[in-house]
Amino acid sequence: MLPFQLKRIGLITSGGDCGGLNAFLRGAAMTALHHGIEVVFIPNGNVGMYNLVDFKPSELKPVILDFVDDIDIGKSGSVAGNTRIKIKHIDEPHAWERVHAGMKKHKLDAVIICGGDGSGREANRYHKNGVKVIHAPKTMDLDLQCYSVGADSAINQFRKFLREVKYTGEAHNRIIIMKVFGALTGHTALRGGIAGDADTILIPEIPPDLSVVYEHMKKAFFARVESSPHKKGTYIIVVAEGLTDIEEEHKEQNETKIGVEQQIIRRLTEMMKNDPDIEKLMKKNHLFVKGQNEMPEIRAVEPLYLARSGDTMAMDINFGMEIGAGAVTLLQQGLSGVTVLGIKGNEVRYMPTKKAVERRYVDENLVRWYEMMGFCFGRKPSECKPVLVQAKANKTPTRVY
């Protein structure tokens, strides 16, 4: 007999939406139904949990197999709905009592919360307030200790956008800056930028020297123009949204009010205006028109929320279903306050949620490899020092990220 007899559980998708959430819902629901456990999709995340006590039983029925089977696991978003609301932020002294009353009313034994670092910390609060809970990792920032559902889909969306924005960049000989996800870390910018063949990738972990970016840009852009039979070229800069340290000593007092991409445009434009080589290079390539086309134009694009939409990648579909199944299994074994990391063979891997949500930063050793391959990270390239490690044979693949 299992340590904890589950009869009914609730599934919550919390925080921002992304690809893979529907796969998580189906994976968890199908596994639970297989074991005779009823499943309720909590509407709209913690908003639904807070208002659970007000739902009539007829309004919150357990899902049936046919409904779960029809969930489009390749579709982004969540059929259960998302919200960024946290119970701790609700101005109600008896908020947790409402949660418990709602769970009792609808006979929920436990919940599974799929979300990022904030949702993971909220899951820990559920645990501390006496709710049996498992956290399933989800974030496009890739900054948890484990892989998180939604990351690969977002990275592939940014790769697609970068490829497409090059077309317009080349058509107008423009320099393009694209801002992507990464509030505190640069994993998504790094992976999406490399896959989309960007030229410069600026991340929070590496304070940028824009003079280095400028020299890299000037050399690469005009080399492309000169080698093109029709004098066409572009240059792509990817910027993580969390990057704020743009040459602090040069900042004007009001510059913090504009976005980081606009700060970069201002700096690079100033450098071009003060560089006598630019006029010479423009004239050499028959691009110069005084007062109208004296230097390459810099444009910024920000497709952040579009990265949440579109098709879910196979990696996130597989991973989403597996962590859903693994989370149910952990609940069956009586665990609570832990994060499911994934399935490896017949193993369900997990760790305490408070450890799982500790921030993981980009490894600078990885950056050095890409600097060696010609990518710019806003600094002078540092030496890559490889270490050789002979791996043992393994029947399961190591995750890419």
Q: Is residue 368 domain-resident?
A: no
| Structural domain containing residue 100 | 8-150+312-356
Strand, coil or helix: what is 114?
Answer: strand
Instruction: Report which residue type is found at 353.
Output: T
* 160 and 304 inside one domain: yes
Domain assignment present for 213: yes
CB neighbour class for 170 (10 Å; exposed up to 12, middle 13-18, buried from 19): middle
| CA 47 – CA 78 distance, rounded (Å) | 15
Q: Give the percent of the chain with pLDDT over 70.
A: 95
Phi then psi for residue 111, to 5 deg, are -135, 155
Reported pTM: 0.93
Same domain, 120 and 207: no
Residues 37 and 133 in one domain: yes
Interatomic CA distance for residues 299 and 166, integer angstroms: 12
Task: Please tell me whether residues 235 and 276 are part of one structural domain.
Answer: yes
Q: Please tell me the distance from the alpha carbon of residue 284 to that of residue 277, in angstroms, as a whole number.
A: 10
Instruction: Determine the pLDDT at residue 102.
Output: 97
362: which DSSP letter? Answer: P
How many other CB atoms are there within 10 angstroms of residue 206's CB atom?
A: 17
Domain annotation covers residue 52: yes
Q: Is 54 within a domain?
A: yes
Same domain assignment for residues 31 and 131:
yes
Surface-to-core class of residue 262, CB atoms within 10 Å of its CB (0-12 exposed, 13-18 middle, 19+ buried): middle
What is the rounded distance in angstroms from the CA atom of residue 137 to the CA atom of residue 147? 7
Is 341 found in the same domain as 284? no
Beta bridge partners of 8: 38
Q: For position 372, what pLDDT does the model report?
A: 97
Does the residue 388 lie in any domain? no
User: 341 and 350 in contact (C-beta within 8 Å)?
Assistant: yes
List b or e across 276-308, with b for residues whose CB sees 16 or more CB atoms inside 10 angstroms. eebeebbeebebbeeeeeebbebebbebeeebb
What's at 31, amino acid-wise?
T
Domain boundary among 308, 327, 347: 308
Q: How far apart are the first and last CA of the chain?
A: 37
> Do 244 and 287 share a domain, yes or no?
yes
**Is 267 domain-assigned?**
yes
Q: What's the CA gap between 48 and 42, in Å, rounded? A: 6
Q: Is residue 162 part of a domain?
A: yes
Q: Which residues are catalytic?
A: 141
Q: Are residue 239 and residue 343 in the same domain, yes or no? A: no
What's residue 105's pLDDT? 97
Q: Which CATH number goes with the domain that contains 297? A: 3.40.50.460
**Structural domains in the chain (count):** 2
Q: What is the pLDDT of residue 397?
A: 66
What does the pLDDT profile of the chain (401 residues) look like in tens digits?
Answer: 577 789 999 999 999 999 999 999 999 999 999 999 999 999 999 999 999 999 999 999 999 999 999 999 999 999 999 999 999 899 888 999 999 999 999 999 999 999 999 999 999 999 999 999 999 999 999 999 999 999 999 999 999 999 999 999 999 999 999 999 999 999 999 999 999 999 999 999 999 999 999 999 999 999 999 999 999 999 999 999 999 867 655 555 555 567 899 999 999 999 999 999 999 999 999 999 999 999 999 999 998 888 888 899 999 999 999 999 999 999 999 999 999 999 999 999 999 999 999 999 999 999 999 999 999 999 999 899 999 998 887 766 666 77
Structure tokens at 186: 């640069």
Distance CA 23, CA 111 (A): 17
Angle at 130 between CA 127 and CA 134, to 5 degrees: 35
Residues 89 and 218 reside in one and the same domain: no
Same domain, 205 and 142: no
d(CA 81, CA 118): 17
Q: Is residue 395 part of a domain?
A: no
Q: Does residue 275 share a domain with residue 259?
A: yes
Residues 142 and 160 in one domain: no
CATH classification at residue 40:
3.40.50.450
